[in-house]
Amino acid sequence: MNLPENYRAIMKELLEEDYPAWQDSFLAFPEHGIRINELKTDPESFRELWSAVNDVSLQGALSDPVEWIHNGFHIRDTAVFSCHPFYQAGLYYIQEPSAMTPAEVLPIENGDYVLDLCAAPGGKATELLAKLRGTGLLYANDISVSRAQALRKNIEMAGATNAYITAESPEKLAASFPCFFDKILVDGPCSGEGMFRRKPDMVRDWEEKGPYYYAPLQYEILEAAVRMLRPGGMMVYSTCTFSEIENEGNVGKLLKEHPDLEIRNVPEYPGFLKSRISGLEGCVRVMPHRMRGEGQFVCLIHKKVEAEMPEKERRKQVMPKLHAVEDRLYLLPPGHMPRAGIRYLMSGLHIGTFKSGILSPSQALAQAIRKEDWARTLNLKSTDDRLLRYLKGESIPYRDEEIVISDKSPAEIFGVPTTLEKGKKGKNRDQKKNGKRFDKSRAPHDTAGFENKLYAGDILILADGFPVGFGSDNRGILKNKRNPGWRSQ
């Protein structure tokens, strides 16, 4: 690869005797991987599921586990995995192996309030959600609305029920959430040196901008993140570049400006390259000549408790709340309501949309539930032509004997409360119930009414047991209700 001479000189100084091996790494193919979504399955079960699929084209596509990632696999071909129904079911996220590292090393605990400050397109955010296991909450933010829309799709596909998606500047978030989050991930914009093998065009961006352009932007983001991190909390700063200016330079400055911050060691792995700078040895790099990844910098930072403080208070365990915004119904994570003045693209789980008095279940709901949770399901093999047609947006036939009946109710799934919050944006439309008008902002459709409306005629379609969307029953034909923006080509 034709790399700039000044960049080669920088890498020679950084790597010393490792430089020739790093240079030779550009002769190898880029690494690819998938990370298993543990909200839906586990690595061993997925391997068995994948092996059981009777499709010759899949043989050998799933390779070895990523050694330093507990739920990652190397793969041979991203195209196979991006087109497969299991991807549409949210069983995995396609992600370059070294990019899995930041979320892996951030020590998430049940009930944590977590922020992914530069979250698009969602690879790290979806892993943080899996580590929360449905507890606490995650704010996934990206300053770009268009990028945040892609982020929303990936978070909904993963089956999240406890996420908020925002599109704000870090500074504005910091003003609204001082000392609020237990854990924060800052995967900052960078010069992208760790992407040169996979995306050679990034070299031109490095020549035009480079580390001195990105370092001040990264530091502004880090300063905002520190303001939002509670005492005792932990933060990961990561980039996909090798530059000491962008990496250790920012970390060192942050520690100098904030004496209450300290570096914590990440879990040991033989391939990690530790920083050569004294006092910053806890910072590590994933390097392509030492590990099967393209490149990543990771630093784990702890915010010390200055004075004696009680252990983190146990947040009040309250019921989740139904929240209506115009004709859409959401289920919010327990104990937290959206903040005024913040641009939200998603708040909790979008359950459905009211249409002519009926609550039509959403695509997000389909992704968030299990097959046992729905009244009527149609389970199709991942190789069934009907499933592939459904994922493309077509209506499909079915036989009555293929439908499985369950008596599970939404009240049991979600713990639906007896009060319904009214959204502040726009007026909620009145709906009809039993021939009478009623206001959704008043106490609910009550639980029974909520169940009855939600079930109305829809069948949940499964890919080898995992939900991929709804279909409306029309005498042996399922009318496709999959989100149009999600349909495969």
CATH number of the domain that 332 lies in? Answer: 3.10.450
Residue 71 contacts residue 96 (beta carbons within 8 Å): no
Torsion angle of C-alpha atoms 243, 246, 251, 257, degrees rounded to 10: 140
* Domain membership flag for residue 210: yes
* Domain membership flag for residue 425: yes
248 and 387 part of one domain? no
* Domain membership flag for residue 313: no
Respond yes or no: is residue 240 known to be catalytic: yes
**Domain of residue 354, residue span:** 321-486
Can you give the pLDDT at residue 375? 87
pLDDT per position as a tens digit, 155-170: 999 999 999 999 999 9
The pLDDT profile of the chain, 489 residues, written as one tens digit per residue, is: 899 999 999 999 999 999 999 999 999 999 999 999 999 999 999 999 999 997 888 888 999 999 999 999 999 989 999 999 999 999 999 999 999 999 999 999 999 999 999 999 999 999 999 999 999 999 999 999 999 999 999 999 999 999 999 999 999 999 999 999 999 999 999 999 999 999 999 999 999 999 999 999 999 999 999 999 999 999 999 999 999 999 999 999 999 999 999 999 999 999 999 999 999 999 999 999 999 999 999 999 999 997 555 455 546 555 568 888 888 889 998 889 999 999 999 999 999 988 877 888 999 999 999 999 898 999 999 999 999 999 999 999 999 999 998 876 655 666 554 344 444 443 333 333 332 222 333 333 433 455 555 655 699 999 999 999 999 988 899 999 999 999 887
pLDDT per position as a tens digit, 447-469: 345 555 565 569 999 999 999 99
Residue linked to tokens 């005797």: 17
279 and 355 part of one domain? no
83 and 104 part of one domain? no
Can you give the pLDDT at residue 127? 99
pTM of the model: 0.91
Which one-letter DSSP state was computed for residue 445?
A: S
Q: Report the relative pairing of strands 376-380 and 458-463 from DSSP bridges.
A: parallel
Can you give the pLDDT at residue 417? 43
Neighbouring residues of 249: CB distance < 8 A, sequence distance ≥ 6? 215
Of 303, 337, 368, the position where a domain reaches its end is: 303
List the beta strands (DSSP E) in 294-451: 296-303, 321-325, 328-332, 344-347, 349-355, 358-361, 376-380, 396-397, 403-405, 420-422, 431-433, 436-438
Can you give the pLDDT at residue 57? 80
432 and 386 part of one domain? yes
66 and 110 part of one domain? no
* Domain membership flag for residue 309: no
86 and 117 part of one domain? no
272 and 326 part of one domain? no
Of 303, 336, 352, the position where a domain reaches its end is: 303
* Domain membership flag for residue 434: yes
CA distance 402 to 386: 13
111 and 82 part of one domain? no
212 and 276 part of one domain? yes
Residue 288 contacts residue 294 (beta carbons within 8 Å): yes
- Helices (H), ranges, 110-263: 123-132, 145-157, 170-176, 202-208, 211-228, 248-257
105 and 51 part of one domain? no
Can you give the pLDDT at residue 411? 56
Can you give the pLDDT at residue 276? 97
218 and 126 part of one domain? yes
Tokens in use for 145? 């609305």
Of 272, 303, 334, the position where a domain reaches its end is: 303
CA distance 455 to 82: 31
Q: How many domains does the chain have?
A: 3
Q: Give the active site residue among 190, 240, 283, 299.
A: 240
272 and 171 part of one domain? yes
Neighbouring residues of 182: CB distance < 8 A, sequence distance ≥ 6? 109, 112, 113, 114, 136, 230, 232, 233, 234, 312
